[in-house]
Amino acid sequence: MLKDKVAVVTGASRGIGRSIAEHLAREGATVIINYNGSADRAREVETGIRENGGKAEAIQCNVADFSACEAFIADVIKKYGRIDILVNNAGITRDNLMMKMKEEEFDAVISTNLKGAFNCMKFASRQMLKQRSGKIINISSVSGVMGNAGQANYSASKAGIIGLTKSAARELASRHITVNAIAPGFIRTEMTEVLSDSVKAAATAQIPMGTFGEPEDVAQMTVFLASDKADYITGQVICVDGGMAM
């Protein structure tokens, strides 16, 4: 379905990003596994994809760094000649109640989650405009749709991604570039595994389907949006959350 496509997935060394990278590769895309700190894990994802007959390369870049992003995207284009799919998944949390939140906790989350998505979109979309085609998929969150106590920074960054998605979708639509967002709910990853049993129980009680999702649930939606089956879908926010944000 994605044969000969070149896909960049940020924050792809674990969790949702890893699953997205693996699913895109399974559909035939050459996947650039972006990571910031966890080189060993990124290489593990790369090796796994290659052992299963796919094409992948792990490349380090801190997406919050504007100049580093420009160089990263330029390197991908130089080596592979094009970028067909960009998945902005890189994200961090620095949870705290707003009254206790430090400036650096707010800035760090906005810089990685929101500015990081802007940086990658800015430079990748240049190439997509030349190609007159492209798919951009931004990973938002149910927290960006509903808000979440203790996550003012994270919720603001993920709500910002929704605004960024819709604005970019309007700007790029005439060149056959679609821009959509996925807003996952509680997904079973390392990020949610550290939650206490009481927090998990409270979260589950808010989910009509009564269970956490799996990374594959988000990955499969990403593959669909990256494919030509979704050519007439742009500017949308699709909740993969078991009904949580209904």
Of residues 123, 152, 159, 107, the one with CA closest to residue 138: 159
213 in Cβ contact with 185 (< 8 Å): yes
Cα–Cα distance, 69 to 36 (Å, whole number): 11
Which residue, among 174, 184, 165, 62, has the nearest Cα to 118 in the 3D structure? 165
| Catalytic residue chosen out of the listed positions 35, 80, 154, 232 | 154
Mention every residue, 6+ apart, whose C-beta is less than 8 A from residue 143. Answer: 151, 154, 155, 158
Beta bridge partners of 182: 139, 238
Residue 189, number of CB atoms within 10 A of its CB: 20
- pLDDT of residue 96 exceeding 90: yes
Please tell me the distance from the alpha carbon of residue 36 to that of residue 12, in angstroms, as a whole number. 9
User: Which token pair is 18?
Assistant: 């890893």
Q: What is the mean pLDDT of the chain?
A: 96
Q: What is the pLDDT of residues 113-136, one digit of tens each?
A: 999 999 999 999 999 999 999 999
Place of tokens 């929101």: 114
Instruction: Indicate the SS3 state at residue 211.
Output: coil
40-64 tens-digit pLDDT: 999 999 999 999 999 999 999 999 9
What pTM was estimated for this model as a whole?
Answer: 0.96
Q: What is the pLDDT of residue 40?
A: 97
- Whether the per-residue pLDDT at 190 is higher than 90: the answer is no
Residue 245 reports pLDDT greater than 80: yes
Residue 154 a catalytic site member: yes
